[in-house]
Amino acid sequence: MIAVVPESDDVVSVYVTGRDLQRLDPRAGQFFIWRFPAHNGWWQANPFSLSAAPDGRTLRLTAKAVGATSAGLRQLPVGSRAFLEGPYGAFTAMHRARDATLLVAGGVGITPIRALLEESTGPTVVLYRVHSAADAVLLSELRWLADERGARLHVLAGRTGVGDPPFTPFAPGDLAALVPDIADRDVYVCGPPAMTDAVVRSLRTLGVPRRQVHAERFSLA
Ligand SMILES: Cc1cc2nc3c(=O)[nH]c(=O)nc-3n(C[C@H](O)[C@H](O)[C@H](O)COP(=O)(O)OP(=O)(O)OC[C@H]3O[C@@H](n4cnc5c(N)ncnc54)[C@H](O)[C@@H]3O)c2cc1C
């Protein structure tokens, strides 16, 4: 483990390196099962997505503190060992069907989306749903990557509270207004389960073919 970088009060990035990392052949959008024996026991293993496209030399995870493992990452000593199992997952550009892409993230679901943006080719739109602008971790990287790729990035701040229409801004009409050619895009969505389900339902309503819809849920159930 070569660095721990706080991204906000409750989100931290961990960078690891190792021999022959490129032989693992990970792809943007995939995840590993991580073990940090310096922090907790061997039996404790947690899935975290790569939050940057793999470059063959380092891998990065970005974790929100929700429990003992994720909160403790902030205290990991530099130089301590990490054990990785993977890569896992089909949330990758290998399964693209169209040239254009829509990437949709909710909260810490930005991690695989950030990695996918780094590898994106063709017209790309990113929708990043956060409670408030201060919760938008990795935002400066996203802005930089979007500029470099000519991608359009929308940060959609707000809570779906009482009185709101359900899942604004992800109701079919809202999505179609933001991305009029949505049916001609591959759509990658990663966020809280309720948000992810709402987006997938809206995509169906909008006639986005099933093979163009790619959803990652941060749940192994
Ligand atoms: C494929 C995959 C990829 C993931 N990628 C990331 C990532 O890139 N960044 C990131 O921050 N998290 C990610 N997660 C979620 C992450 O694995 C969990 O938050 C973490 O393992 C929780 O461990 P903990 O010991 O810190 O908390 P625990 O003590 O295990 O849990 C603390 C509290 O959080 C709740 N909780 C635990 N896991 C989840 C979850 N997955 N979703 C919602 N609530 C949960 C528990 O019910 C409990 O209330 C991913 C999960 C999966 C399945």
Supply the pTM of this predicted model: 0.94
The full set of domains in the chain, from first to last, is: 3-88 (2.40.30.10), 93-216 (3.40.50.80)
pLDDT in tens, 40-92: 777 899 999 999 999 999 999 999 999 999 999 999 999 999 999 999 999 99
Q: Does pLDDT of 216 surpass 80?
A: yes
What's the gap in Å between 135 CA and the centre of ligand 1? 17
CA of 66 to the centre of ligand 1 (A): 7
Tens digit of pLDDT for each residue in 157-214?
A: 988 665 566 678 899 999 999 999 999 999 999 999 889 999 999 999 999 999 999 9
Could you tell me which residues come within 8 angstroms of residue 147 by beta carbon, excluding any fewer than 6 positions away?
A: none
Task: Spell out which residues line ligand 1, taking CB within 6 angstroms.
Answer: 31, 46-49, 61-64, 66-70, 108, 111, 218-220
Give the separation between CA 98 and CA 76, rounded to whole angstroms.
Answer: 41
Q: Which residues make Cβ contacts (< 8 Å) with residue 180, sequence separation at least 6?
A: none
Q: Who contacts 10 (Cβ-Cβ below 8 Å, separation ≥6)? A: 64, 65, 71
Distance, CA of 16 to CA of 5 (rounded, Å)? 12
